[in-house]
Structures are given as structure tokens and as C-alpha cells.
Structure 1
Amino acid sequence: MSTTEVVGTDEGSSDRWEPIREMPPSAKLVAKVLDYDDTLTQSQLAEETLLPPRTVRYALSRLEDAGVVDSRFSFSDARKRLYTLNI
């Protein structure tokens, strides 16, 4: 029975990441960094992931289209947007 319980647990955790599974590696990396760091700006994401800003923009747009990332304006600097993973 412990094997069934482990499989059941794995299935529950895999559902959370299901919308991201078929995305490009850059989007997966950005999602994982947001999962770890909670809320970051685009420039902070580029710094953390070591990806070019253009790649981070593309990854964020793919994640937003899939509905797994939320964005809002920064209160400290309205020119910047803050991104949060919502899965």
C-alpha cells in the first residue's frame, strides 16, 4: 500500500506543474525561480536565471498566457512590474 500512497502523492504534486510541462526550458526556469523567490521584477528574474532579458520577456509572456503567472505594477517604481507564480 505504501507504493500506491507514493504514486498518489506524486500525481497530486504533478498536477500543479502540468500547465508548464510542455513549455520551453526558459519558461520552466522562470517559473521555478518564481516558485522559490515568490515575487520578482523582470530584471531580477534575468539576474537570477542568467537568461537574456528578451528570453525572460518571452518566458513571462508564455507563462502569463497559460495563466500561471500574475503581474502587477510595483508600488515603489510604477515603471516596473512584479511577477508572481500562482500555481
Structure 2
Amino acid sequence: QGLPLVKQAVTNLLQSIEEPVAPQVLWSMNYQQRYISSEDAPNTSASVIALQSLSSDLAFGDDTLHDVKAAWQKITDGDPDTFLKFEA
């Protein structure tokens, strides 16, 4: 539903950049959000990273970012100080 709109927006953005070599998406990730009880939530394992349940609000709290940061560190072995810092 929203994913095609996001993909089209990224395509439009990349097409608007005037460079000799057209930029490309190197990696992407998407998810579907479902609301389940904490009893039904998957456990974290070597191949699954379970985040805490989210509220149905449009905004999310800092706890969500802490969970995402922990998942990012587990996946990338990244330096915590570089989380959500992007280079141009």
C-alpha cells in the first residue's frame, strides 16, 4: 500500500540527480507492521531480531529507536556513534 509510493519517490529522487553516472539504490529494507500480543511475538535468535511492540500511534518513542539501534549494531557490528549519521 505505502511501499509502492515510497519506491516511486526514491526513483523520482534518483532520477532528479544530475550526475554523469546515475545513482542507484545499493540496499533497501521494508517491513509490514502487524499488531500482535507480546505473548505471540517471536524470540530473538541468531537469525531473528524481535523488536518491542509498537503502539498504533503515528509517532514512536525513543525506546523504539533504542531497539532499532541495537538491531543495527547486531547486524552491522557498527560503531554506536555512527548510528543514523549519513555522509554525503
Q: TM-score, normalised by structure 1?
A: 0.29
Which of structures 1 and 2 has the larger relative contact order (alpha carbons within 8 angstroms, sep 6+)?
1
TM-score by length of 2: 0.29
Structure with a larger share of its residues in strand: 1
